[in-house]
Amino acid sequence: MIYSVPSDRVTQRFGGVEATNDQQQAFVVDGYAVSPIRIGGFDAYPMPNGKFMVPQPGFRDCTFACELMMRLDHQKISIDSDLGPSDMGRRRDMPEIMASLHSTTGKEPVLFKYENVSYKKNLMGQVHQTRKDALRDLGKKIEQMGPCILSKGSHVVMLDGVRKHKGEFYLTIREPFHGEALEFKDSKEFFRDQNGTSDKVDFEAIFLR
C-alpha cells in the first residue's frame, strides 16, 4: 500500500528498522542497534547526523511522525518531553499539519506546491526541465530552511536533501512507514502510490522558516 523506493535505486542507507537475532525489531545504524527516546506515543531514534528517525506507530500516523521529526530538527521539543503529537489514527491534510506546527513551534510554516512534474525524458534523453526545476528548487529551500515534510499522494515523508550528480538527482528521505533513512536515485517509482502509469506527478512540501 505504501511504497518507498526500488531497492536498486538506493545509494546509501543511513539507518532502518531490522529484525534482530532474537526475533525482535531494532533501529540499526552501521550494524548497531540504537535505543529509542520515548516522546509521548512515539519512539525517536537518534541518528549520527543530529536528526531523529521517528517511525509512525499506526498505519495512518505518517503526518504525526513527520511533524515530530520536524519539531526535533528545529529543536522545538525537548527529547525528554511527554508532549508528543496526539489525536493520531488519521491522515491529516497539509493545512492541518501547518496549523499544528504553528501552534507547537510558534514558527510560520510555508507550503510549496509542485504540479505536473514530468518524468519523461526531454528530446536529448535528459531529465525533463519541469523535474529539474522542481528538484533544484526543493534542494535550495532545504539549504535555506532545513528538511521539509513532503506529501506524495496519500503519504508524507521527511525530505532531508536533494543533490545532483552527473545529470541525475538523488533524494535523502526519512520514511516513517518503513522506519528507514536512505538516499536514492530519483525515480517515478517513488510516486507509485499516486500516479499509476502517468509520467506526471504532483507533490507538496512544508517548511518552517
Cα separation, 42 vs 68, in Å, equals 9
CA distance 14 to 136: 23
User: Residue 20's pLDDT is what?
Assistant: 75
Residue with the bigger pLDDT between 117 and 84: it is 117
Which residues, in sequence order, are bridge partners of residue 111? Answer: 206
Q: Which amino acid is at 171?
A: L
Average pLDDT over residues 152-172: 94
Q: Map residue 96 onto helix, strand or coil.
A: helix
Q: How confident is the model at residue 135 (pLDDT cuts 50, 70, 90)?
A: very high
Taking a C-beta distance cutoff of 8 angstroms, is the pair 105, 188 a contact?
no
pLDDT score recorded for residue 193: 61
Q: pLDDT value at position 205? A: 98
Which residues are paired to 161 by β-bridges?
A: 172
Residue 17 clears pLDDT 70, i.e. is over it: yes
How far apart are the C-alpha atoms of 45 and 27, rounded to whole Å? 7
| pLDDT band for position 196 (cuts 50, 70, 90) | low
Is 0.85 surpassed by the pTM of this model? yes
Confidence of residue 86 (pLDDT cuts 50, 70, 90): confident
Give residue 64's pLDDT.
Answer: 96
Q: Is the pLDDT of residue 53 over 90?
A: yes
Residue type, 85: P
Alpha-helical runs (H) found in the chain: 62-73, 94-105, 129-145, 192-195
**Lowest mean per-residue pLDDT among 67-81, 125-139, 182-196:** 182-196
Q: Is residue 187 pLDDT above 70, yes or no?
A: yes
Answer whether residue 21 shows pLDDT above 80.
no
Residue labelled with grid coordinates 528538484:
135
Domains of the chain: 7-208 (3.90.70)
Closest CA to 85 of 74, 72, 94: 72
- What pLDDT, on the 0 to 100 scale, is given for residue 74? 93
Average pLDDT of span 152-179? 94
